Amino acid sequence: MDNEKLNLPGYEIPEDLEHAVAITTLDRIYNWGQRSSVWPLMFGLACCAIEMIAAQAARYDMARFGMEVMRPTPRQADMMLVSGTVTKKMIPAIVRLYNQMPEPKYVVAMGACASGGGPFKEGYNVVAGVDKFLPVDVYIPGCPPTPQALIAGMIKLQEKIDKQSLKTVRWYKKGADTVEIPVPILGPDLIDPRRNAEIKSIAAAQKG
């Protein structure tokens, strides 16, 4: 619903109150509040982080979207911008940070590496995309994405937030407040505890 329609929803508003009273839906005002203050976690992994800083700086100015308040602690962050190559050594820390973020939380995979491994996919220490572990909301292509592309991705995230409904969002459902993702373990290679049985059976079947 655009602003025009929202201000004229069919209810009769007395003329002298027309500019003081607005009628809206609960979903819409909730989403409007959330989309206008998406605070990213202050956390940069690699090259993309530099473009993230550039997008925060004067020329591109992400503050226009309510996204300039970088929070160094996950407890205050709404969005995790995975800006760079996710390595096997780093992923336990990333999963922990994600688990520590309160709901509602979003994950944006910035750049080729975070989306799917990128140019380093073949590397032995590289996780081929952060979506192997975290639920990703928006992928931003590029190596690194320009600040314009990053901002376009942020606008996509806002569009996604606009479509939320209080009835269906996961953080108001019954059960635990957040879903904990099991923290990967550093073994002879990266162990995802969710795949323990699978790893065991394949390792038993393979030849020396």
Partner 1 sequence: MTTTPLTSTVDLVARFPGFVTADTRPGFTGFIVDKNKLVEAATAIRDEFGYDLLTAVTGVDYFPENKMEVVYHAYKITGGPGLVFKVQVPRTDPVEVPSLIQVYAGADLQEREAWDLLGIKFTGHPDLRRILMWEGFEGHPLRKDWQEPFYEEDFKPFKSRWPDGKIEMAEDKNPYKDNLKFPQNFDPEKWIPEGDALLYGSLAKYTITDEHGLKSDRIVVNMGPQHPSTHGVFRAAIVLEGETVLGLKPVVGYLHRNHDKIGERNTYLQNMPYTDRLDYFNSMSNNFGYAVAVEKLMNIKVAERAEYIRVIMAELSRIQNHLVFVGMLLNDLGAMYTPALYAFEERELILDIFEAAAGSRMMCNYFRFGGVVRDLPEGVLQKIKDLVLERLPAKTDEMERFLSENEVLVSRLQGIKVINAEDAIKFSMTGPVLRAAGVPYDIRRADPYGIYDRFDFDVAVRQHGDLMDNYLIRIDEIRQSLRILEQAIKQIPEGPINSQKPQYQVRVPAGEAYGRIESPKGELAYYLISNGKPNPWRYHVRPASFVNITALEKISLGTKIADFVALLGVLDIVMGELDR
**Closest separation between CB of residue 77 and partner 1, Å?**
11
Judge whether 132 and 153 are in contact, CB under 8 Å.
no
Residue of 38, 46, 67, 81 interacting with partner 1 (CB under 8 A) = 46
Q: Which of residues 52-81 bind partner 1 (CB under 8 A)?
A: 53-54, 57-59, 72
Contacts 24+ apart (CB under 8 A), 124-131: 125/87, 125/88, 125/89, 126/85, 126/86, 126/87, 126/88, 127/86, 127/87, 127/88, 127/91, 127/190, 129/86, 130/82, 130/86, 130/91, 130/94
Site string for partner 1, 181-200 (x = CB under 8 A): ----xxxxxxx-x-xx-xxx
Interface residue with partner 1, options 120, 141, 160, 178 (CB under 8 A): 120
Contact status: 93 vs partner 1 (CB under 8 A): yes
> What's the closest the beta carbon of residue 11 comes to partner 1, in angstroms?
45
* 166 or 185: CB nearest partner 1: 185
Residues contacting residue 177 through CB under 8 Å, at least 6 positions apart: 102, 103, 171
Nearest CB to partner 1, comparing residues 110 and 161: 110
Q: Is 51 in the site for partner 1 (CB under 8 A)?
A: yes
Q: Is 132 helix (H, G, I), strand (E, B) or coil?
A: helix
- Residue 35's CB is within 10 A of a number of other CB atoms, namely 20
Report the interface residues with partner 1, using CB under 8 A: 42-47, 49-51, 53-54, 57-59, 72, 84-85, 87-90, 93, 97, 117, 119-128, 132, 143-144, 146, 185-191, 193, 195-196, 198-200, 202-208
